[in-house]
Amino acid sequence: MPYLFTSESVSEGHPDKVADQISDALIDNFLAWDADSKVACETLVTTGLVVLAGEVKSSTYLDVQKIAREVVLKIGYTKAEYMFEGNSCAVISAIHEQSADINQGVDRKEKQEQGAGDQGMMFGYATNETANYMPLALDLAHKILLELAVLRRENNDITYLRPDAKSQVTIEYDDNGKPIRIDAIVVSTQHDDFDTEAAMQAKIKQDVINILIPRIKSQLTPELAALFNDDIKYHINPTGKFVIGGPHGDTGLTGRKIIVDTYGGKGAHGGGAFSGKDPSKVDRSAAYATRHIAKNLVAAGVADEILVQVSYAIGVKDPMGVYVNTNGTAKVNLTDGEIANKILEIFDLTPYGIETRLKLRNPIYSETAAYGHMGRESEVVTKTFVSADGNSKSVEVELFTWEKLDFIDKVKSAFSLA
């Protein structure tokens, strides 16, 4: 029987994502100056205020106020009328030193013996329904907001956009789990004030359908573009007015959009958030590792979709176990349990092994903090950091290493695939 599935996304200007981006900017700056930094940093944003809190063990000192303001301005909160603006908002820091009790469970004399930074279970997922091996509804929801941000910065075809926005896409699937059409699209975008609410709703709906959606379709394969149809139910700013938004309209906190960060509810999410955590925290690093595993297995032809779970005990280097669910789509003559055993033969899932393989001790995290940690393109970029005393440092880093299809040959060999 056909069914509907929905995923949502939020923009970089959404208050929770503002908080995530500030936390990850701090992570990047700590790692740029001290790659061995241990950081767990939380951010709260509200009207005219940024609050930073957390635990740090690092040899470097940062001007955290300056870093937070730069993030807020880059996102687009540059006007006093937003009631949250990068140059004028207060920034309060309550960051303190990491607990020695936690640190002794992580650091070891030999780095290879490094223990997990926390207990918990983490999930990775991949499906071949899109080119980037992501669930289609979430991929489209991200694309809508990425393009909306491009339009906002162009300030050309659409001139009234403000930074806060949300999207949601509902896909109809057939009996075989294949997408057959888009049933509904929701877009709520913050905007400048209009003369009347009716004029506002008419203009924004017209621009979303006639400007934004065609730009999305142009990025898709013909097969996926064909899922857009004349019967789509559009809900554009369905509450009406959305002038008050961002941290002034809703307090933001680090780690409150974890399903947006991963698979839109199509796969699974473990017990923790990602942003604000250095890679010794397996909440983050092992989630990246399991995505890397799932994506390479699907791309190699092991299954059409795969969910991988790994779990850890704090201070212990080896995982408690690996679980696999192919949802009956496996193309190899093995049980899901046997596939899990193969994974342990191919991939090093110790915290040190994950950090090393995926190059996670580099300042690569700011780019993850909006529009999803998964399904992005791996690329090499040069980033520049300025220390609290004014020294400048440029670092070449590889982003989204967990999205690389660099283990396909090893997977094919292990599973005897041609």
Known binding-site residues for ATP equal 14, 164-166, 241-242, 250, 256-257, 273, 277
Q: Which helix (H) or strand (E) holds 24?
A: helix 15-33
Q: Which residues contact 357 (CB under 8 A, 6 or more apart)?
A: 289, 347, 348, 401
Instruction: Note whether 278 and 129 are within 8 A (CB).
Output: no
Instruction: Tell me how far apart the alpha carbons of residues 188 and 242 are, in angstroms, rounded to a whole number.
Output: 8
* Both tokens assigned to 336: 């899901």
- Cite the annotated binding site by residue number: 14, 16, 42, 55, 98, 164-166, 241-242, 250, 256-257, 273, 277, 281
Spatial CA neighbour of 311 closest among 289, 335, 334, 296: 289
What does the alpha-carbon distance between residue 355 and residue 69 come to, in Å, rounded to a whole number? 29
Residue in this structure with the two tokens 């309060």, named with its chain if needed: 92
Phi-psi region of 167 (alpha: psi -120 to 50; beta: other; left: phi over 0): beta
CA distance to 263, 284, 301, per residue, from 297 (Å): 17, 20, 6
The separation between CA 307 and the C-alpha centre of its own chain, rounded to angstroms, equals 18
Contact present, 276 and 26 (Cβ < 8 Å)? yes
Q: Which residues are annotated as a binding site for L-methionine?
A: 55, 98, 250, 281
Residues 398 and 383: their CA atoms lie apart, in Å, by 10
Per the listing, tokens 């791996």 go with: 378
Q: Which residues are annotated as a binding site for Mg(2+)?
A: 16
Q: Where are the beta strands (DSSP E) in 179-292?
A: 179-191, 233-236, 252-253
User: How wide is the angle at C-alpha 173 spanned by C-alphas 9 and 130, nearest 5°?
Assistant: 55
Nearest in space to 15 (alpha carbons), one of 87, 83, 66, 63:
83
Provide the token pair at 338.
């046997």
Known binding-site residues for K(+) equal 42
Sign of CA dihedral 265, 129, 175, 216: positive
3-state secondary structure at position 153: helix
CA dihedral 137, 412, 407, 286 (to 10 degrees): 60
Residue closest to 389 by CA, chosen among 162, 93, 66, 61: 61
Report the alpha-carbon distance of residue 42 to residue 28 in Å, rounded: 14
